[in-house]
């Protein structure tokens, strides 16, 4: 068959020509593979030096160029910072905030076009794959804004002498070992990440894209995924974890799933610190139009919206914390935003289906009381510390809807003046119909009062306040309010009903209805509450409420004073009665003892007389 195929001259000429072509092609490939590694090395090193203005240098142990496969393999790549250049830039106040060092054992560039690189000075690659790269990044706050230096050329302008343009279709970094060191805080912060993957597509550095703001690092999109990240707080009191983090620079969206903050057990926590104890879990956190490059450079956080969905936040106040006389003004939201020491600008925060609880331990009752706000959802507008944004609008508005103790619907509107030195704010809202017995999990252990009956029809409040004083109006409408006053039974570790005091409170103090009768005008109370400097924000709001709630149920200052005196007098009368009773019992016991002694004496005398008579009879006999 083969002999028949080669019997014609043109067939033999064709076969020989094809063989010579293959021989030349393989020879050329061998020549390129052997001699082009130094050329490639020089090109890469030159490009890195020119594009980074000599701040970084790159080195590798070997490179293989497979012409027929269109592939380059580079081994043991090391991207390092030239410390001398960095020190010089620091003195000139031109040093960047972020430094990166990279080590890769094996880098594969697929479908590369070597002849374009050598003859046309075009670096065109279909795919770059880095397997198990080690990335070390450090952050120092050298600059707070972009610095105009002598060399403000773009990356393309810096490489244009050696390359016309650079294009890479896809870049993959698999199983990245990432270490991040932050020197900007008071303490050195080190984070290490594993199970991280990155994918960048359409990297293009040319005359058109050199100033394209829609690209990050000249890539059309960079997608970073981090899975199953866990860590511990520096003080060892908390562990935190996140199931998945994904960042896309094309959509400018950061997504987190399964974000959890867990404290150590309560006993160990409160023995080690005087801080309050927090527990948090969020199913989803989404940051939209996130300016990653701004955050990467300067730690400034800018986004159009933050969406928090499905989760819980629990706060347990520290029972070991002694009373403090320090000013708690930093607990006010306006002050807390500025104390973040970062340029923050989030246009809208959306909260969806979040359960919030507050727990406090009462030493008198030796029990924990919990206040719950369930299924909380709402919106926060203009959450910012950015100076330019505050000049346009200095008011932040929060609108929330939640279910108090999982029963009554609470609609709440708050506003905060973010530039007022007095930290002025307003809050108003309405709490809807609910059974008042639903608040017993809080008032029984914390106030040692049990509500035995009562229905809330509505609770309306409207306040204007600042860091010094809260002024407002409170209207509480309810029916059939009755309570039991409790006392601690230390022997049995329970709370017992103070029967007489409870009866006294229900008969003489409490107003069981508001309005007192149908058709009458409801009682409304104005509040003027002066904040003690050691009162934090949420306690200030609660005390403002309480100032209006007490007189609403008939327990105002005058009534409270009179009741206290009357109950004190009642306790005194009770004590006197008890003493008189004890004296009567004592006197009865003394009289009984005297009678017993007299009886015993009579019996002894009678026995002696009988014995004397018996003796006389015996003698006479």
Phi and psi dihedrals of 417, rounded to 5? -85, 110
Q: Evaluate whether 124 touches 113 at the Cβ level (below 8 Å).
A: yes
Rounded average pLDDT over 574-600: 70
Convert the pLDDT of each residue in 298-337 to its tens digit. 788 999 999 999 999 999 988 888 878 888 898 899 999 9
Q: Where are the alpha helices (DSSP H) in 355-495?
A: 387-392, 440-447
Cβ neighbors of 333 (< 8 A, separation 6 or more) are 396, 416, 425, 537
Q: What is the pLDDT of residue 281?
A: 96
Q: Where are the domains of the chain?
A: 26-142+156-230, 323-555, 559-606
The pLDDT of residue 25 is 44
10-35 pLDDT per residue, tens: 444 444 444 444 444 444 444 445 55
The model's pTM is 0.75
Report the alpha-carbon distance of residue 3 to residue 9 in Å, rounded. 12
Phi-psi sector, 157: left (phi>0), alpha (psi -120 to 50), beta: alpha
pLDDT of 260 reads 96
What pLDDT score does 463 carry? 97
Q: Are 126 and 111 in contact (CB under 8 A)?
A: yes
Burial 90-124 (b: 16+ CB within 10 A, else e): eeeebbbbebeebebeebbbbebebeebeeeebbb
DSSP helix/strand/coil, 457: strand
Q: What is the pLDDT of residues 230-277, one digit of tens each?
A: 888 878 899 999 999 999 989 999 999 999 999 999 889 999 998 889
Across 44-61, average pLDDT: 70
Segment 163-186 shows an average pLDDT of 83
Between 225 and 57, the higher pLDDT residue: 225
Out of 132-141, 191-200, 393-402, the most confident range is 393-402
Angle, in degrees to the nearest 10, between helices 557-620 and 537-552: 70
Q: Which two tokens stand for residue 289?
A: 């139009």
Asked if residue 609 has pLDDT above 80, the reply is no
Average pLDDT estimate for 86-99: 82
Q: Which region among 101-105, 140-144, 457-461 has the lowest average model confidence (pLDDT)?
A: 140-144
The predicted model gives 145-164 an average pLDDT of 71
Mean pLDDT of all residues in the chain?
80
């Amino acid at each position: 068959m083969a002999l028949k195929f080669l019997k014609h001259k043109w067939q033999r000429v064709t076969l020989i020509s094809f063989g010579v072509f293959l021989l030349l092609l393989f020879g050329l490939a061998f020549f390129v593979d052997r001699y082009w590694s130094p050329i490639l090395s020089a090109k890469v090193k030159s490009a890195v030096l020119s594009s980074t203005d000599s701040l970084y240098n790159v080195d590798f142990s070997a490179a293989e160029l497979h012409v027929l496969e269109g592939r380059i393999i580079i081994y043991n790549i090391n991207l390092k910072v030239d410390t001398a250049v960095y020190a010089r830039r620091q003195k000139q106040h031109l040093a960047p905030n972020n430094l990166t060092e990279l080590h890769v054992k094996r880098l594969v560039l697929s479908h590369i076009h070597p002849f374009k690189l050598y003859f046309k000075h075009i670096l065109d690659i279909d795919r770059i794959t880095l397997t198990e790269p080690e990335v070390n990044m450090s952050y120092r706050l050298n600059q707070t804004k972009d610095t105009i230096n002598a060399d403000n050329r773009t990356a393309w302008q810096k490489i244009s002498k050696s390359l016309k343009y650079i294009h890479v279709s896809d870049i993959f970094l698999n199983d990245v070992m990432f270490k991040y060191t932050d020197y900007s805080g008071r303490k050195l912060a080190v984070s290490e990440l594993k199970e991280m993957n990155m994918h960048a597509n359409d990297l293009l550095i040319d005359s058109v894209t050199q100033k394209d703001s829609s690209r990050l690092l000249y890539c059309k999109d960079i997608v970073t995924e981090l899975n199953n990240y866990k860590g511990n707080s520096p003080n060892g009191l908390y562990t935190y974890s996140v199931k998945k983090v994904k960042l896309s620079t094309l959509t400018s969206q950061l997504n987190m799933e399964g974000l959890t903050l867990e404290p150590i057990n309560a006993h160990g926590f409160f023995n080690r610190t005087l801080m309050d104890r927090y527990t948090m879990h969020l199913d989803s956190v989404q940051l939209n139009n996130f300016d990653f490059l701004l955050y990467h450079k300067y730690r400034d956080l800018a986004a159009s919206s933050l969406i928090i969905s499905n989760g819980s936040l629990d706060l347990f106040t520290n029972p070991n914390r002694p009373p403090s006389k320090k000013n708690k003004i930093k607990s006010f939201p306006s002050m807390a935003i500025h104390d973040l020491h970062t340029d923050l600008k989030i246009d809208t925060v959306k909260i969806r289906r979040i359960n919030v609880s507050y727990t406090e331990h009462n030493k008198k009752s030796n029990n924990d009381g919990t206040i719950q706000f369930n299924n909380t959802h709402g919106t926060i507008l203009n959450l910012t510390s950015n100076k330019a944004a505050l000049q346009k609008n200095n008011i932040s508005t929060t609108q929330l809807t939640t279910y108090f103790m999982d029963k009554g619907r609470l609609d709440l509107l708050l506003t905060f003046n973010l530039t007022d030195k007095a930290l002025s704010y307003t809050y108003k809202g309405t709490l809807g119909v609910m059974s008042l017995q639903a608040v017993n999990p809080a008032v029984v252990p914390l106030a040692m009062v049990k509500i035995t009956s009562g229905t809330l029809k509505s609770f309306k409040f409207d306040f204007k306040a600042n860091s010094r004083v809260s002024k407002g109006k409170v209207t509480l409408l309810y029916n059939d309010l009755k309570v039991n006053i409790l006392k601690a039974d230390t022997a049995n570790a329970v709370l017992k009903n103070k029967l007489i005091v409870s009866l006294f409170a229900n008969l003489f103090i409490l107003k069981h209805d508001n309005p007192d009768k149908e058709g009458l005008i409801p009682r409304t109370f104005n509040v003027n509450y002066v904040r003690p400097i050691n009162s934090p924000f949420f306690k200030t709001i609660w005390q403002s409420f309480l100032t209006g709630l007490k007189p609403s149920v008939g327990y105002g200052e005058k009534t409270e004073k009179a009741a206290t005196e009357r109950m004190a007098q009642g306790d005194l009368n009770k004590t006197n009665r008890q003493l008189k009773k004890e004296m009567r019992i004592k006197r009865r016991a003394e009289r009984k003892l005297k009678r017993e002694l007299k009886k015993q004496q009579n019996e002894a005398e009678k026995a002696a007389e009988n014995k004397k008579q018996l003796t006389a009879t015996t003698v006479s006999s």
